[in-house]
Amino acid sequence: MSLLSIDELKTLAENSQTPSISLYMPMQKAGPEIRQNPIRFKNLIREAEERLDAMEIDHTQALDLLQPGMELDTSEFWEHQDHGLVIFISPQVFRYYQLPMEFPELVVVSDRFHLKPLLHLLNNDGKFYLLALAQKDVRFFEGTRYSINEIEVENMPKSLDEALQEDEIQKGMQQRSGTYKGGTANSFQQPGTFHGQGSSDTDKPQEHILQFCHAIDAALHEKLHKQKAPLVLAGVEYLFPIYQEANTYNHLVEESITGNPQFTKPEELQDQAWHIVEPLFHQNQKEIMELYQQIAGEGTGKASSNLQEIIAAAYYQRVDNLFVPVRQQIWGKFDPETMAVNLHLEPEPEDYDLLDFAAIHTLLNGGQVYAVEPEEMPNNASAAAIFRF
C-alpha cells in the first residue's frame, strides 16, 4: 500500500490507459459489521467485471486485469483497515489506499482513474510542519489532519549539546587554518545574543540557545525555502521568543504548543497542531470563494459556473481556481477537437465524470481545486471556476 500525497495523486492523474478501474468503498472497522467488508468488496469487483464486459473487453483479459485486486481478499488484509478503501487498476498500475475517510461505494471504468473523491481529503487535510524543540531533543515532522511523519533534516542538530560540540569543532578548525569558512551546515557563526525571560529549565546560557536556534533554522531553510505550509512550534514556553528571533521561514505561525515535547507522542503533537492550523486552511478557501463571487459579479468573463465552458478551460490550462462538489458525478465525454461536451444521466461505456475531468486537468496544469460539500457551492452550481485569462 502507498501513502496518498498530492504528488501521488498527480502520478495517478497522469495515467491514461484503457481500461482504468477505480473502486471506492466505505469500511467497517469494528463490530459484526466488519463481515460486510469482503462481501461489499466482491460486489464491487463483480460490478467492475460487468463494466469491462460492457466495454467489450475480452473476459479472460478482464479477469487478469482484476486479479491483483482480488488477491487482496484475505483475512489478514481485512483485519487492518481504516475508514475507506480505494483501489486503482489499469494495465500498468495497481495501487490501493486505506484512508481515514469514508467514501460512498463507487465503480468507475474509463480511460483514466476517477480521483475527485480524494481531493476533498487532501484539501481538508492541509499539510503543515511541526518543529518539536527541546534542548535535549529536536524533531521535525510533516503532518496533515490524519497523519504525522518524522522527517530527517540534513545538518539539523538533534540537541543543544550536539550543536555546541559541532561549534567547538568548527572553531578549532578555523583557529588552525587561520581563516573562517562559513556555510549553512553550521549557523553558530551567526551573531547576536538574546536577552529575554529566564527559566528554571534553562541549563545553558541563552546566547547558546539562540545560536542553537540559528543552526536549526539554517538547516530548515535548506529544506523549506520553497514551501508555504505553516510551521508550528512545540516546546517549553521560554524557547518560543528565542526561536522566533532566529527564524527566517515566512510561514511560522504565532500560536505554539506549550510543554516539553520530548516525551509527547507524535500523534498527540499532530492533534494539537491540527487545531492550530485548521482555521488557516479554511480561511484560504473562504477568501477564494469570496474572490469568485466578486469576479463573477463583475461580468468580465474571468469567472464562470457554466460546466461546458469550465471543462474546456480546464483542458486548455485556463483554470486557476476550481470548486467542485463532493459525492456528485456528471457523466459524459469531452471532445477537445470540437469542444463538445456530451452529458449522460447514467454512465455509458467509456464515460467519465466530467467534474473529475475538470478537477484533474486543473490540478495537473498548476491550478487549485477545492472539493466542497454540495451546499457550499455558489448558487448551487455544479462547478465554479476562476480563469487565468
Q: What is the DSSP letter of 34?
A: G
State the burial class of residue 181 (Cβ atoms within 10 Å of its Cβ: 0-12, 13-18, 19+): exposed
E-strand spans in the chain?
20-26, 84-90, 93-99, 106-110, 128-134, 137-143, 148-150, 231-235, 257-258, 303-304, 319-325, 331-335, 340-344, 352-353, 368-372, 384-387
What is the pLDDT, as a whole number, of residue 245? 95
How do residues 354-370 score in pLDDT, each as one tens digit? 999 999 999 888 898 99
Q: What is the CATH number of domain 6-114?
A: 3.30.960
Which of the residue ranges 117-131, 138-152, 240-254 would you say has the lowest mean pLDDT?
Answer: 117-131
pTM for the full predicted model? 0.67
Q: Is the pLDDT of residue 169 over 70?
A: no
Q: What is the pLDDT of residue 166?
A: 58
Residue 173 has pLDDT above 70, yes or no: no
Q: What percent of the chain has pLDDT over 90?
A: 61
Query: Does residue 276 or residue 188 have the better pLDDT?
Result: 276
Note the pLDDT tens digit of each residue in 38-48: 999 999 999 99
Region 349-358 average pLDDT: 92
**Per CATH, which fold does 299-387 belong to?**
60s Ribosomal Protein L30; Chain: A; (3.30.1330)
∠ Cα 106 112 118 (to 5°): 50
Q: Return mean pLDDT, the chain.
A: 86
Closest CA to 220 of 162, 212, 257: 212
What is the average pLDDT across 209-222?
94
Check pLDDT > 80 for residue 190.
Answer: no
Q: Is the pLDDT of residue 194 over 50?
A: no
What's the CA gap between 323 and 106, in Å, rounded?
21
